[in-house]
Chain A
Amino acid sequence: MIDLIKQPWPWYFSGIMIVLIMLILLFFGKSFGFSSNLRTMCTIAGAGKKVKFFDFNWKDQVWNLMFLIGSVIGGFIATNYLSNPAPVKLSAATVADLNQLGVKFDGGLNPNSLFSLAALKDIKTLIILLVGGLLVGFGSRYAGGCTSGHAISGLSNLQLPSLVAVIGFFIGGLVMTYLIMPFIF
């Protein structure tokens, strides 16, 4: 049993469980949307005093911050207690493409060459991570949601605006992958 848990879990199980999480939150009277937390955090830091967008009653969003804290704990538990050291079964074509880009596949979930503590000594890496985060934060608020709010909650409710947002996610993703990343890595 424990061996089964420690293996990577199949995509269909993940898909089922993500819907279950959406349903649990609906049952609690909430809706699944992660990026709202970023706005809440800005408000708690005092952004509401200067900018109207952040002037809202953040206490209604405490549940979502709790969900966020849980997700950090979940990542910790999964990585430290529920994983085996076998490398991610990434497709050979991706490994080759990334090699060409200068990012070596190290077998983990994320490249240590970008995300480890040691990698942060490199100013270029720092800028990539900061700018990448900035685009994620700005874009998700501009679009009124991220993957959870639009791709999962929105599409499940057959919202055309969410489909437009998801098409945008892919336009941006493809532009970054094919047109921009070859120049920055």
Chain B
Amino acid sequence: MKFVKYILTGILFGIIMTKSEAVSWYRIQEMFRFQSFHMYGIIGTAVLLGIIAVWLIKKFKAKDIAGKPITFHDKDKAYIKYILGGTIFGLGWALTGACPGPIFVNLGSGYAGMAIVILGALLGTYIYGVIKNKLPH
């Protein structure tokens, strides 16, 4: 039962992403061609409000459902992996029009081809795990 709330949150996420067209291959193409404000509006609003929300959580030492203080983890201070990994991710994002979340949301919408993208993403994740120690981080 304790997992129901995560399923419900996921359902909300899937609906929001679909209804705002953030899962659209076309919208991602439009974004990378700078031909509409739509995607920038979504990400910009989220980041701006997110910054305020995180600041408030820290300022008021907000607690989670279990009564523990909400904590944030700093990302490692290495930069090669972020720029190289990010660039590789971006290549795939533009090609498939989907980041990991939308790939699964779109599968639910009935786009069968997303199953192949998921297969590729799992394979890519596996390859990273195998050659991780040989890569510059």
**Chain A interface residues (CB < 8 Å from chain B):** 5, 8-19, 21-31, 34-35, 37-39, 41-42, 45, 47, 51, 53-54, 62-64, 66-79, 82-83, 88, 90-91, 93-94, 97-98, 105, 109-111, 114-117, 119-120, 125-126, 128-148, 150-159, 161-162, 164-177, 180-181
List residues of chain B with CB under 8 Å of any chain A CB. Answer: 3, 5-33, 35-39, 41-51, 53-54, 57, 64-66, 68, 70, 72-79, 81-101, 103-114, 116-130, 132, 135
Distance of A83 Cα from B20 Cα, bound (Å) = 11
- Given contact pairs A88-B24, A172-B87, A16 touches B109 in the complex (Cβ within 8 A): no
Greatest chain B CB density within 10 A among A12, A24, A142 is at A142
On whether the beta carbons of B21 and A172 are closer than 8 Å, the reply is no
What are the 10 tightest A-B residue pairs by CB atom distance, in nearest-first order? A74-B14, A70-B10, A168-B86, A172-B90, A133-B120, A15-B45, A137-B124, A143-B85, A156-B50, A139-B89
CB-CB under 8 A from B44, the residues of chain A are: 15
A117 close to B91 (CB less than 8 A): no
A75 touching B129, Cβ below 8 Å: no
The reply to whether A38 and B122 contact each other, CB–CB distance below 8 Å, is yes
* A170 pairs with B90, CB closer than 8 A: yes
CB of B113 to closest CB in A, whole Å? 4
Inter-chain contact B24/A126, CB cutoff 8 Å: no
Contact B35 A75 (CB under 8 A): no
Output the least CB separation between B117 and chain A (Å). Answer: 4
A79 in contact with B92 given A14-B22, A133-B120, A172-B87 (CB within 8 Å) = no
Given A63-B3, A137-B122, A165-B83, A51-B130 contact (CB < 8 Å) = yes
- Name A8's closest neighbour in chain B (CB-CB): B21
User: Which single residue of chain B is at the shortest CB-CB distance from A70?
Assistant: B10
Which residues does chain A contribute within 8 Å of B85, judged by CB atoms?
138-144, 165, 168
Q: Are B7 and A136 in contact (CB under 8 A)?
A: no
Q: How far is the CA of A5 from the CA of B20 in the complex (A)?
A: 11
Q: Quick one: given A71-B108, A82-B15, A114-B113, are A66 and B89 in contact (CB under 8 Å)?
A: no
Task: Report whether B100 and A16 are in contact in the complex, using a CB–CB cutoff of 8 Å.
Answer: no
Q: How far is the CB of B5 from chain A (nearest CB, A)?
A: 7
Task: Give the nearest-CB partner of A33 in chain B.
Answer: B100
Q: Are A144 and B10 in contact (CB under 8 A)?
A: no
Q: Which residues of A contact B88 (CB under 8 A)?
A: 135, 138-139, 142-143, 168, 172
Interchain CB contact under 8 A, B86 and A167: yes
